[in-house]
Chains A and B, each alone.
Chain A
Amino acid sequence: GAVVSQHPSRVICKSGTSVKIECRSLDFQATTMFWYRQFPKQSLMLMATSNEGSKATYEQGVEKDKFLINHASLTLSTLTVTSAHPEDSSFYICSVLAVNEQFFGPGTRLTVL
């Protein structure tokens, strides 16, 4: 299966700042990656589908101007949380689609003060 990494694993930022989270596919060229968000004690919620070389597809209710996704290469997708607020504090997880199966990254814990 595909090996997926995320950076950083944890980030704490002040309200109003922007935070970039990287998702890397280490051994597979991924045309499609997914971004999820998970609040404490809750399930994963799909935010968007990231397609290499084209615009991301966002799920209903997810603001595309707030959660900027860039998938510039087959091994890297980035999620930028712009003007972060405390309610954006969550666990952000990416996944790589490899041969009809999704492989998940370890997640990034974002805390906005």
Chain B
Amino acid sequence: LAKTTQPISMDSYEGQEVNITCSHNNIATNDYITWYQQFPSQGPRFIIQGYKTKVTNEVASLFIPADRKSSTLSLPRVSLSDTAVYYCLVGDNGAGNKLTFGGGTRVLVKP
């Protein structure tokens, strides 16, 4: 399973855009990139998943360059309730679907 590297923490202010970049230099051809959000004392919640280029949903956008060795989660106009830990995971959906969580990025949104 490819290892991921993310910043440990990031501060932002309400209304700003938050971009979290994740490095996954050893990503395999069959691997997808998935981001999860976790609030304290809760289970992780799926945010977005992509394979290449750009993916957008109602919550976030995911940018993946052509070499796929990194990805950037973009949260538009964050609010206080977006304060959470964000995990980037890389894995093959067909390989038993085992997820390896890295350290995650602790995002603090300030008023």
- Across chains A and B, the number of contacting residue pairs, with CB separation under 8 Å, is 46
Q: Report the interface size class on chain A.
A: 20 to 34
Q: Which residues of A contact B46 (CB under 8 A)?
A: 1, 101-103
Interface residues of B, dominant DSSP = loop
Is A44 positioned at the interface, with any CB of B under 8 Å from its CB? yes
Stretch at the interface among A12-20, A64-72, A74-82, A105-113: A105-113
Q: Which residues of B contact A45 (CB under 8 A)?
A: 101
Is B99 positioned at the interface, with any CB of A under 8 Å from its CB? yes
Q: Which residues of B contact A34 (CB under 8 A)?
A: 98-99
Is B97 positioned at the interface, with any CB of A under 8 Å from its CB? yes
Shortest distance between the CB of B28 and any CB in chain A (Å): 16
Do A49 and B96 have beta carbons less than 8 Å apart?
yes
Is B45 positioned at the interface, with any CB of A under 8 Å from its CB? yes
Stretch at the interface among B13-21, B36-44, B56-64, B70-78: B36-44
Do A43 and B43 have beta carbons less than 8 Å apart?
no
Q: Given A1-B46, A100-B93, is A43 in contact with B41 using a C-beta cutoff of 8 Å? A: no
Do A93 and B43 have beta carbons less than 8 Å apart?
yes
Question: Interface centre among A32, A43, A91, by most B CB within 10 Å?
Answer: A43
A-B residue pairs in contact (CB < 8 Å), sample of 7: A34-B98, A43-B87, A45-B101, A46-B100, A93-B44, A95-B43, A100-B94
